[in-house]
Structure 1
Amino acid sequence: MMRILMLCLLLCAGLAHAHKPSDSYLTLTVDGQEIRGQWDIALRDLDFAIGLDANGDAAITWGEVRAKLGEIDAYAMSRLALGTAGQSCPASVSEHLIDDHTDGAYAVLRFVARCPVPVEVLQARYSLFFDIDPQHKGLLRLAYQGTSSAGVFTPEKSSQAFTMTRPSRLTQFLEYGREGIWHIWIGFDHILFLLSLLLPAVVLRKGHAWEAVGAFRPAFMSVLKIVTAFTVAHSITLTLASLHFVSLPSRLVESTIAASVVLAALNNIFPLFRERRWAMAFVFGLIHGFGFASVLSDLGLPSDALALSLVGFNLGVEVGQLAIVAGFLPIAYLLRHTAFYRRGVLLGGSLLIAAVASAWLIERAFDLKFMPF
């Protein structure tokens, strides 16, 4: 188990970014033989791929972007292919903009693709940044006859086909549920926060030492309280933020999430909340909900099934979260009597988590980046 924890932590450290992982946002609107598109691509990713910062001052200006527009168009459009009925739909960029997302400035490419026949099944091949960043995702929002659906391009799913039918409510619900599961599984800060709270669930602190719980029920009840508190809290703020009732600055949210991981991990070494970890889960769960909402905001909620898609995404997050708990708790319970678990996994793992999260906190709070990947 310690090897698994170490592997997860090293992976998280290697993927520590000042903000969220690399994504681009592709919107396609199909109307007969015409496809109108908008593609939002992070300037930091384009800078890494083709070099935008001409003077090397770490501040990308509109002038530097404008000087590279032709290169940006060629780079991006060569990595997106649209077609239907086995025939290509050539695309050309018609407009350039700059927009701010929750994690920084993005180049916006608006384009039009024309197909030889009306689109009934849209075939799309996406390969932006996959050769330099295997963690990159292309988040698709596909609009057709007043309805919308979502999709995700990854290196494993770089080519996909979409049938031009009005998606059913069930389909939209399941799509957003899948997005919720995927987000919690790639949300390393959310995972480490949850693990930090779960690590002591199978032991009890006696003075300055940890002793194994005598039965499974106390451990299960501790986990249940933590997961319930976290779920209730992030569901509240996810809903409020997604419906635009409350909004917080991205840097504040991301920095506080990193700080929550640090505190949760250090609490296992220098107890502050002791057995009230559920209270920590609830308080910081409110902030984690804003983090989930930023992803859902970028995906977009379909106006014709807003509530259903929001519920689907939230339930997807819970399913992903429960899968992590289900994998962790039985193993931890079996190892609870061992010094290996108490010293190596609980204390050693908490120190490693605190170290990784501290790096995230510094990066996010001061807009720095320690690692080039």
Structure 2
Amino acid sequence: MRQLPARPLLLVLLLAPLAALAHKPSDSYLSLERSAEGFTGRWDIALRDLDEVLSLDADGNGALTWREVRARQPDIAAHALGRLSLAADGAACASQPDGELRVVGHSDGTYAVLGFTVRCPAPPSELGLDYTLLFDRDPQHRGIVRVSSGEVGEPLILSATSRTARVSLAGLSPWRRFGEMVASGMHHIWEGVDHLLFLFALLLPSVLRRDENGKWAPVSRFGPALLDVIRVVSAFTLAHSLTLSAASLGLVALPSRLVESAIAASVIFAALNNVFPFVRGGRWVAAFALGLLHGFGFASVLADLGLPAGSLAATLLGFNLGVELGQLACVVAFLPLAFLLRGSLLYRRALLIGGSVAIALVACVWLAERALDLKLPLA
């Protein structure tokens, strides 16, 4: 039996740290509504995150109960509000819990709902935010924020590298954040390891073709390789955009675990197709079919934020544009180098075959973790 090269083992070791980065990012949903004295707030935080930080499961039986959560309401409020600093026109505002803690279901699990009021020294015209929740434990955590006044609101996405924001409360409009949504779409591709590896698994064969014996051979001209890449990337983007829009508008809803598991399975399929060709031609068709899954990856965030129709349209447009630009940047960096290396054994054996096997193995770890809710040592 013909053995695969040993290089995949080295590539697996190099790719192993990526397993820890490919889970669904931890999100919280923060809504701030302008009021006469400052703001009224609602903060939805995943119970699994709060349990990890505050050890809410008092009896340690692995089953978190409402009684255990409610008993720790003061600790939950203190922990959350201690990691959110708000200011009005540069003057610090004071946040105070308001009402009983509640729980709600989001697409990826159960969340605690913390209501609070924010009192500022004077009626605010500009809001300043400094958000530090969970960044010390999960660098991928995102704060999905909606700042609103009446029926108009602006979405914000805060991260470990962009934890502060200033929002002028005069003329609130989602279009003012259009550039930030474009940047979020680009980061979605660059920081979403599973999406990125899926894209590279599709791009690796673009500078090669199957000969009459079924073996990979280099293409003779750059033009056909570029055309193949354009078809693959455009099909992926179109499919990604369709399901992202449909899910964000509430037309389709799928459980987060199912979506994330299917994304991991799609990475395995795309990678192994380079080694054992299930789909010999029309890779853009496979890219479209599998790209439909990937659109759900970010859709739950927009849906759970509850944006009004106008804000949602602007957010979707900016985000999808960012996804396309992020993918084009990957293509520009990848394709010329791949074309130069296409005739070498390094490319055909180590990068295409070895790299594809390594990607598939890492994606198998993701699939096991997501489908079975496990935490494997590799990750």
Q: TM-score, normalised by structure 2?
A: 0.90
| Unaligned residue ranges in structure 1 (runs of 5+) | none
The CA distance in 2 between the partners of 1:235 and 1:83, in whole Å, is 36
Q: Do the aligned partners of 1:53 and 1:64 also contact (CA within 8 Å) in 2?
A: yes
Is 1:26 aligned with 2:56? no
Q: Which among 39, 44, 59 is matched to residue 55 of structure 1?
A: 59
Q: Which among 224, 246, 251 is matched to residue 252 of structure 2?
A: 246
User: Deviation of residue 342 (structure 1)?
Assistant: 1.2
Cα 1:267–1:21 change in 2 (3 A) is same
Partner of 1:166: 171
Cα 1:10–1:328 change in 2 (3 A) is farther
User: Deviation of residue 38 (structure 1)?
Assistant: 0.9
| Unaligned residue ranges in structure 2 (runs of 5+) | 1-7
Cα 1:372–1:118 change in 2 (3 A) is farther
Q: Which among 130, 135, 150 is matched to residue 130 of structure 1?
A: 135
Cα 1:284–1:310 change in 2 (3 A) is same
Cα 1:78–1:172 change in 2 (3 A) is closer
Partner of 2:199: 194
Tell me the amino acid that sits aligned with residue 316 of structure 2.
L
User: Deviation of residue 169 (structure 1)?
Assistant: 6.0
Percentage identity across paired residues of the two chains: 51
The CA distance in 2 between the partners of 1:171 and 1:354, in whole Å, is 41
Q: How does 1:27-46 map to 2 (within 5 A)?
A: 27-46=31-50
Partner of 1:256: 262
The CA distance in 1 between the partners of 2:322 and 2:304, in whole Å, is 17
Tell me the amino acid that sits aligned with residue 78 of structure 2.
A
Is 1:175 aligned with 2:180? yes
User: Deviation of residue 146 (structure 1)?
Assistant: 2.2
Partner of 1:334: 340
Tell me the amino acid that sits aligned with residue 91 of structure 1.
S
Cα 1:74–1:110 change in 2 (3 A) is same
Q: Which among 270, 284, 287 is matched to residue 281 of structure 1?
A: 287
User: Deviation of residue 300 (structure 1)?
Assistant: 4.2
User: Deviation of residue 109 (structure 1)?
Assistant: 0.7
The CA distance in 1 between the partners of 2:216 and 2:129, in whole Å, is 55
The CA distance in 1 between the partners of 2:378 and 2:91, in whole Å, is 39
Is 1:13 aligned with 2:14? no
User: Deviation of residue 270 (structure 1)?
Assistant: 0.7
The CA distance in 1 between the partners of 2:157 and 2:275, in whole Å, is 40
Q: How does 1:66-145 map to 2 (within 5 A)?
A: 66-94=70-98, 95-145=100-150
Partner of 2:349: 343
The CA distance in 2 between the partners of 1:68 and 1:185, in whole Å, is 38
User: Deviation of residue 6 (structure 1)?
Assistant: 7.2
Q: TM-score, normalised by structure 1?
A: 0.91
The CA distance in 1 between the partners of 2:178 and 2:309, in whole Å, is 13
User: Deviation of residue 307 (structure 1)?
Assistant: 2.8
The CA distance in 2 between the partners of 1:149 and 1:250, in whole Å, is 25
Greater mean alpha carbon deviation, residues 114-123 or residues 363-372: 363-372
Moved over 6 A (4+): 5-8
List per-residue Cα deviations over 1:103-157 (Å, max 9, x = no partner).
2111111100111101011121111112222222212111124211122222332
Cα 1:301–1:177 change in 2 (3 A) is farther
Tell me the amino acid that sits aligned with residue 376 of structure 2.
F
Report how many residues are paired: 368
